């Protein structure tokens, strides 16, 4: 995964977003979710980020911005992917720490925005990637990309995430 893609995933996990103005200026916000250290890293990769954001804007231009970046806590940022109602339920379970950039909510929101889905395996819900080498649907081109991001963003809160997954309805959604 490229540095720009990783930065976009980090922004999404914090509940922040990056946009590109018509004049080519990148905007990251809301400001309270973008600490100075992250802003410096964004500046260091601004050319690559501008290209990536412009490309994504072309991919998602048919969708209103509030679909990708929900305005309401607990909304699924990716209703274009399977399991939208389950994701909304999962995000609502995690909503208690929506203001904490290191909490479960931001991590789950970021994973979903980047292309994660829910799968049932051995009777339990699990997070899984949509692997997409084109990076048009998901930021993960390979299983190794997903594993690295999951280790960084999801594993530190795995106990809470597993508990939330166990509280989801058992009889609906995709099975693997």
What are the φ and ψ backbone dihedral angles of 16, each rounded to 5 degrees? -100, 175
Closest to 1 (Cα-Cα) out of 124, 159, 115, 120:
115
How many other CB atoms sit within 10 Å of the CB of residue 145? 23
Domain assignment present for 174? no
Tokens 């166990």 correspond to 166
Tally the domains of the chain: 2
pLDDT, one tens digit per residue, over 3-19 is 888 888 888 888 888 87
Where residue 173 falls among pLDDT bands split at 50, 70, 90?
A: low
* pTM assigned to the model: 0.60
Where residue 168 falls among pLDDT bands split at 50, 70, 90?
A: very high
CA torsion 74-78-81-83 (nearest 10°) is 0
pLDDT, one tens digit per residue, over 78-107 is 888 899 999 999 999 998 887 776 789 888
Complete DSSP assignment for 107-174: HHHHHHHHTEEEEEETTEEEEEEPP-TT-SS-S-SSHHHHHHHIIIIIGGGHHHHHHHHHTS-SSSS-
Domain assignment present for 175? no
Which of the listed residues 38, 65, 92 is the one where a domain comes to its end? Answer: 65
User: Are residue 48 and residue 133 in the same domain, yes or no?
Assistant: no
User: Are residue 121 and residue 78 in the same domain, yes or no?
Assistant: yes
Rounded to an integer, the average pLDDT of 21-35 is 76
Q: What is the pLDDT of residue 10?
A: 87
Domain assignment present for 176? no
pLDDT, one tens digit per residue, over 139-166 is 888 899 899 889 989 999 999 999 999 9
Where residue 138 falls among pLDDT bands split at 50, 70, 90?
A: confident
Residue-number span of the structural domain to which 60 is assigned: 3-65
Residue 18's H or E segment, with its range, is strand 17-20
User: Are residue 71 and residue 123 in the same domain, yes or no?
Assistant: yes
CA-to-CA dists, residue 47 to 50, 54, 113, angstroms:
5, 11, 22
Rounded to an integer, the average pLDDT of 114-121 is 92
Q: What is the pLDDT of residue 56?
A: 63
Where residue 118 falls among pLDDT bands split at 50, 70, 90?
A: very high
pLDDT, one tens digit per residue, over 47-84 is 888 777 776 654 333 333 333 455 578 888 888 889 99
């Amino acid at each position: 995964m490229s540095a720009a893609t990783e930065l976009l995933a980090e922004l999404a996990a914090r509940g922040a977003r990056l946009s590109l103005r018509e004049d080519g200026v990148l905007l990251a916000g809301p400001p309270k979710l973008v600490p100075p250290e992250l802003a410096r890293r964004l500046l260091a990769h601004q050319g690559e980020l501008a290209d990536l954001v412009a490309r994504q804007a072309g991919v998602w231009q048919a969708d209103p911005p509030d679909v990708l970046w929900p305005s309401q806590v607990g909304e699924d940022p990716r209703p274009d992917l399977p399991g939208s109602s389950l994701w909304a339920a999962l995000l609502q379970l995690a909503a208690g720490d929506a203001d904490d950039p290191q909490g479960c909510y931001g991590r789950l929101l970021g994973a979903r925005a980047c292309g994660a889905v829910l799968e049932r395996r051995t009777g339990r819900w699990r997070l899984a990637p949509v692997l997409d080498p084109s990076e048009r649907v998901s930021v993960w081109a390979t299983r190794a990309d997903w594993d690295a991001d999951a280790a960084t963003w999801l594993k530190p809160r795995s106990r809470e995430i597993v508990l939330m997954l166990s509280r989801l309805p058992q009889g609906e959604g995709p099975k693997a």
